Amino acid sequence: MEQFVFFGGKGGVGKTTVSCAYAYRCANAGLRTLVVSTDPAHSVSDVFGQQFGDDPESVDGVEGLDAMEIDPDDEMQRHLQEIREGLSEQVSAAMVSEINRQLEMSHGTPGAYEAALFDAFVGVMRDESEPYDRVVFDTAPTGSTLRLLGLPEFLGDWIDRLLYKRKQSIDLFEKAAIGDMEPRRLMDGDPVLERLQRRKEFFEFAGDTMRSDAAFFLVLNPDQLSVNETGRAIEGFTERDLHVRGLVANKLTPSPDDDEEGRGASYLREKVATERDRLDQVREEFDPPLVAEIESRTREVRGDVLSEVAAALDVETGPPVGARE
Amino acid sequence: MTVADRIETFRAALEEWLAGLYHGMITHPAYEKIEKEAEDVEDEFMLACFPDAFGIPSPVSYYTAELLPYLEDEFEAWERRLWDRESLMERKGQQYHF
């Protein structure tokens, strides 16, 4: 298994439960495991009954398991602050307010939140994954996750264009400086080019890691909406050259005992039959195998229930394969 | 003053004149033209970095904002050029000396 494992799916299907259960299983198999929530509606804290922040913290009572929750808002503030500090160092007081306006604007655009989230989770993969054998990501609902995963390539192209433009204009400025005149901009040591280059490498790292060192699983519920959405998500992943390793069916209705009669029992029997149809549909229509069927619980998934759920997951927990730098 | 000296002085004056003429007619307009072209490309760069300045949301402006501390001169010049550029024709016309 790869070092990075992502769980995605429609909102409310139980991604958090499944990813926590998987992380729990990995930790029990003796792997140093980190579970990271990138879902703005954090619930990893609820599963383990313990508050987590944006640094990894060990989970009480589970050997070898750490957890962290990324808050894109905090990440955005940090980013803004960092640039502001750069501003006050580099830019004259007269221009600061002018540029500040631009800065605020760029952090208020709709993409900013996603960019912050992307930065945060790639940051975890690059800087914090070192001590762990496995890092499990509990991602935001399908749509935004897909957009996030699509970002590296898209942004890489964009940065390429910017690099090209910048080089072109500097080159012209250098040519314009005839004789012993000082060119207005110099190619060597241009901080803008250097920054863009660093960004480019960041995106390349993200793209490479996700293609070669990550496994994706989708969580679904046995209802038509969820199945349809899963189908679309699989397509989306394929379009981005990423392969969904397996599907996890969650919240299956338990069937009643044979000798049970009455409204409750017949309701359950009917429901189980419909769900079985949906699952058959999933098995037939979708390429990724159904790796787990998890029955719905009457109690919240916490503590010992978590280990039951973990046992139902037929996702391998072997040590990470492939050489990493 | 010998004849040789007078020729020397004349040649120096002529060289200065020619250099000035060459600079005025060839190098200066060329330098100006290239520099304006460079400014144009730089404007394109700025526009690609900060289209939200014109109300066009950009998916990368979160990242390009990181460049702002290093773009003071460019940013100021960009704004100034945007103010006094009426049309592309006018801008391009400035690059030729009729």
- The answer to whether the Cβ–Cβ distance between B38 and A106 falls below 8 Å is no
Which helix (H) or strand (E) element contains residue B28? helix B28-49
In this prediction, residues B53-73 reach a mean pLDDT of: 84
Distance from CA of A124 to the nearest CA of B (A): 18
- From the list A236, A254, A284, the residue with the least C-alpha distance to A8 is A236
In this prediction, residues A276-301 reach a mean pLDDT of: 83
Rounded mean pLDDT of chain A? Answer: 84
Mutation choice for A interface testing from B33, B41, B79 by most A CBs within 10 A: B41
What residues in A contact B37, CB-CB < 8 Å?
172
Per DSSP, the residues of A118-146 read HHHHHHIIIII-TT-SEEEEEPPPHHHHH
What residues in A contact B26, CB-CB < 8 Å?
none
**Which of A35-39, A74-78, A269-273, B55-59 is predicted with the least confidence, judged by mean pLDDT?**
B55-59
Query: Given this model, what pLDDT does residue A142 score?
Result: 63
Mutation choice for A interface testing from B27, B68, B76 by most A CBs within 10 A: B68
Distance from CA of B22 to the nearest CA of A (A): 13
In this prediction, residues A4-13 reach a mean pLDDT of: 86
Query: How far, in Å, are A39, A312, B20 from residue A48 at the CA level?
Result: 16, 19, 81
Nearest to A165 among B41, B57, B65 (CB): B41
- φ, ψ at B70 (rounded to 5°): -100, 5
Residue B96 — very low, low, confident or very high, per pLDDT cuts 50/70/90? low
For residue A69, give every residue at least 6 positions away whose Cβ sits within 8 Å of its Cβ, in sequence order, or none: A36, A37, A42, A44, A45, A52, A53, A54
pTM of the model: 0.79
* Cα distance between residue A122 and residue A207, in whole Å: 10
* Cα distance between residue A202 and residue A132, in whole Å: 21
ipTM: 0.75
To the nearest 10°, report the CA torsion of A160, A162, A164, A170.
Answer: -150
**pLDDT tops 80 at residue B91:** no
Query: Given this model, what pLDDT does residue A298 score?
Result: 67
Query: Given this model, what pLDDT does residue A201 score?
Result: 92
Query: Given this model, what pLDDT does residue B92 score?
Result: 65
For A126-169, the pLDDT digits (tens) are 988 889 999 999 887 666 677 777 778 888 888 899 999 999 98
More confident site: A110 or A302: A110
By annotation, the residues of A acting in catalysis are 39
More confident site: B8 or B59: B8
In this prediction, residues A300-320 reach a mean pLDDT of: 70
**pLDDT tops 50 at residue A323:** no
Which residue is listed with tokens 């306006």? A101
- The answer to whether the Cβ–Cβ distance between A83 and B79 falls below 8 Å is no
**pLDDT tops 50 at residue A242:** yes
**pLDDT tops 50 at residue A324:** no
For A161-210, the pLDDT digits (tens) are 999 999 998 988 888 876 667 777 888 888 899 999 999 999 999 888 88
- From the list A311, A314, A309, the residue with the least C-alpha distance to A47 is A309
For A71-114, the pLDDT digits (tens) are 888 888 999 998 988 888 888 887 888 888 888 888 887 778 88
